[in-house]
Amino acid sequence: MKKIRSNQGRLFYPALRPRRSAGLLLALWLLAAAGGCACRPRGGAGTVLVRDPHSFSRPGEAFVTHLTLFLDVDFDSRTIKGEASWRIQNLSCSRELRLDTRGLTIRRVQLLEEGRVSEGHFTLGEEMPLLGQPLVIGIEPGTEEVLIEYETTGEADALQWLAPRQTAGKRHPFLFTQSQAILARTWIPCPDPPAVRFTYTAAVEVPAPLTAVMSAGRAAKPEALPGGRKRYRFEMPQAVPSYLMALAVGELGFRALGERSGVYAEPSVLESAAWEFADTEKMMRACEELFGPYRWGRYDILVLPPSFPFGGMENPRLTFATPTILAGDRSLVALVAHELAHSWSGNLVTNATWDDFWLNEGFTVYLEHRIMERLYGKAYDEMLARLGLDELSNTIEELIEDHPEDTHLKLDLAGRDPDDGMTDVAYEKGYLFLRMLEEAFGRERWDAFLRAYFDRFSFQPMTTEGFLGFLDRELLEGDRELAEKLRLHAWVYGPGLPDNLPRVRSEALEKAAAAAGYFAAGVSAAALKTDGWTTHEWLHFLRHLPSPLAVDRLADLDRAFGLTSSKNSEILCQWFLVALPGGYSPVMEPLERFLVRVGRRKFLSPLYRELAKTPGGLKRARAIYARARPGYHPVAIGTIDGILGWKD
């Protein structure tokens, strides 16, 4: 063993210095309690351990408590050189630490014990599709910290490297990560189940003109380094699962929205983003009144370039968001309510495995509606709920014949891509289930239950069964008949929608659907009453038009409402979907531009699918895709490759 060296002045040295952490004290306490032998199964620490089919790690043996991360971001080679130092607790005296990796090059492993560093032995196990390879590191009962030197490769599906032309400013490159569901392992060797949490500190070196942000607090002012580089330091004192690890690097500005909230975006986008998200503080206050204190310090939103594959991602303290919600009228801010709500459902109480995904998303959609109702009223929120129910009905219709089990809330994703379970079912059926419970028990009791749930299980994983158990104890009080009457089992473990689903009715949307009916019956577009319609009525109207519509009728709609030149991404996408089956050619160029510029998968999937169905459309879709594909994130590429039968 050799004495620890300072590691080129990076940040390992303080991290590797043994500290009397809470974990160490717990270990010492367990040692005393066990009468001298510190080695005991993990169960003794009182943690619920769930098998995770999407991870090689074995948290029941040695488990991690803290990560010290150093990242050197190199835009030229499009790689990150990393050093990940895991503080561990090895209460069961395990001889190995198993971490998840995928496509990482592991250079070296070192172990720390009582201030001394030794070379570590490691192997990379057999490669499994999707899951990658287990990194198996030999450890001693006394090992306190494990330091891994590694590098990312072109296989890092969590990373999207953007060329300057893919940004708004066009001058600098951009990098962002997307770790959910099982992609954290492609940029950090880590235990990758959502049930495992750790705190972290990080130092990130980037080219000096760029700003680095993480799902964490800023620990210090950035330091200038030689060679035109800059180092940013971050600290995350709340324990988080790996899927919430996030980093973005680009030319970024910042605007405060309130005392503890703000927005990061490229400078030219900043003003419109700050305007769009003006209600963020109000949303935070509504959340706190409803669900308990916000436990994460700051809440900022990062607006990414349009290739971001999702609408939003609830990275703690720093929601990542698509710029396609900047509609100029605040009509798409439910997304902020959603990602903010994850600060309770998901980030505080976390789905134990991806089979329990509805606990994250169904709860979050429920919370999102409560926020929207509070801020904008019941009628407005009911429009959003109705649109959600309609989308759910379509999804169920698509799945129910061949994959009825994918319409259950509790999923069984072992051996499958967790992405397969990430459908409207978790979101919207989950929401309806919770709304049904709210209606059954009344708001007062239900709200008290929700608050107790977030308090009691904060910073812990939750299984579907754990939730049902808590519901049984707190609200059902063991009443079997009531459980039967509410059809609890059918909601969670059964297909489709049980017949006690809540009634979701929006008068405003019914009027929009009626307008679609008049148009279908031959009324001209200009004669329809559309004054005061929000984005949501437009979407409902477009979805209720007959398909295909004749070209002259499409032209009539376009003339009256300027749909092809809509600046609203939701309306524009829905309009393309209406126009394509009718062969309305004026949309073709704007559609191509949209597909090349925007990488949000929710838009890409239906558009490519619809385009491929038109005469000669598959060829056209592939030609557009060939141009657009290099600008998409790997998760979008995976999906669209499948839709278009694309072989790289």
Contact set with ligand BES (CB under 6 A): 180-181, 310-314, 335, 338-339, 342, 361, 422, 602
Of 301, 436, 280, the C-alpha closest to 371 is: 280
The answer to whether the beta carbons of residues 488 and 494 sit under 8 Å apart is: no
Least distance between Zn ion and beta carbon 84 (Å): 27
Least distance between Zn ion and beta carbon 366 (Å): 11
Query: Kindly report the CA angle at 420 between 414 and 421, in degrees rounded to 5?
Result: 80
Least distance between ligand BES and beta carbon 635 (Å): 7
Least distance between Zn ion and beta carbon 313 (Å): 8
Structure tokens at 577: 């979907």
User: Which DSSP helix (H) or strand (E) runs through 263?
Assistant: strand 261-265
User: Nearer to ligand BES by C-beta: 210 or 333?
Assistant: 333
Of 411, 302, 300, 304, the C-alpha closest to 361 is: 411
Binding piece for Zn ion, criterion CB under 5 A, among 124-132, 358-366, 544-552, 582-590: 358-366
User: Nearer to ligand BES by C-beta: 203 or 422?
Assistant: 422
- Name the amino acid, one letter, at 37: C
The answer to whether the beta carbons of residues 202 and 214 sit under 8 Å apart is: yes
C-alpha span between 228 and 341 (Å, rounded): 39
Structure tokens at 388: 């959600």
| H-type alpha helices, 111-266 | none
Least distance between Zn ion and beta carbon 346 (Å): 7
Within residues 201-230, the interface with Zn ion by CB under 5 A covers none
C-alpha span between 440 and 467 (Å, rounded): 17
Structure tokens at 218: 């800023």
Residue 634 binds: one of Zn ion, ligand BES, none (C-beta under 5 to 8 A by kind): none
User: Nearer to Zn ion by C-beta: 38 or 181?
Assistant: 181
User: Nearer to ligand BES by C-beta: 152 or 324?
Assistant: 324
Least distance between ligand BES and beta carbon 216 (Å): 18
Contact letters (x/-) for Zn ion, 303-342, by CB under 5 A? Answer: ----------------------------------------
User: Nearer to ligand BES by C-beta: 291 or 441?
Assistant: 291
User: Nearer to ligand BES by C-beta: 255 or 602?
Assistant: 602
Three-state DSSP at 117 gives strand
Least distance between ligand BES and beta carbon 112 (Å): 34
Residue 335 binds: one of ligand BES, Zn ion, none (C-beta under 5 to 8 A by kind): ligand BES
- Buried b / exposed e over 78-113, threshold 16 CB at 10 Å, is bbbbbbbbbbbbbbbebebbbbbbbbbebeebbbbb
User: Nearer to Zn ion by C-beta: 101 or 364?
Assistant: 364
Structure tokens at 471: 């519901």
Within residues 559-578, the interface with Zn ion by CB under 5 A covers none
C-alpha span between 67 and 223 (Å, rounded): 21
Contact letters (x/-) for Zn ion, 363-402, by CB under 5 A? Answer: -x--------------------------------------
- What pairs with residue 302 in β-bridges? 264, 320
C-alpha span between 79 and 603 (Å, rounded): 29
DSSP state of 331: T
Number of H helices, E strands in the chain: 21, 24
Give Cα 200 to chain centroid, integer Å: 19
DSSP strand pairing (299-303 vs 261-265): parallel
Binding piece for Zn ion, criterion CB under 5 A, among 64-72, 111-119, 264-272, 357-365: 357-365
Three-state DSSP at 312 gives strand
Residue 215 binds: one of Zn ion, ligand BES, none (C-beta under 5 to 8 A by kind): none
User: Nearer to ligand BES by C-beta: 262 or 309?
Assistant: 309
Least distance between ligand BES and beta carbon 324 (Å): 10
Q: What single string gives the DSSP state of each residue in 20-82?
A: --HHHHHHHHHHHHTTT-----GGGG-------TT----TTSSEEEEEEEEEEEETTTTEEEE
Least distance between ligand BES and beta carbon 408 (Å): 17
Structure tokens at 238: 């709340």
The answer to whether the beta carbons of residues 577 and 391 sit under 8 Å apart is: no
Residue 313 binds: one of ligand BES, Zn ion, none (C-beta under 5 to 8 A by kind): ligand BES
Residue 509 binds: one of Zn ion, ligand BES, none (C-beta under 5 to 8 A by kind): none
User: Nearer to Zn ion by C-beta: 315 or 566?
Assistant: 315
- Name the amino acid, one letter, at 130: L
Q: Looking at the annotation, which residues are catalytic?
A: 339, 427
- The residues of the shown chain that bind Zn ion, judged by CB under 5 A, are 361, 364
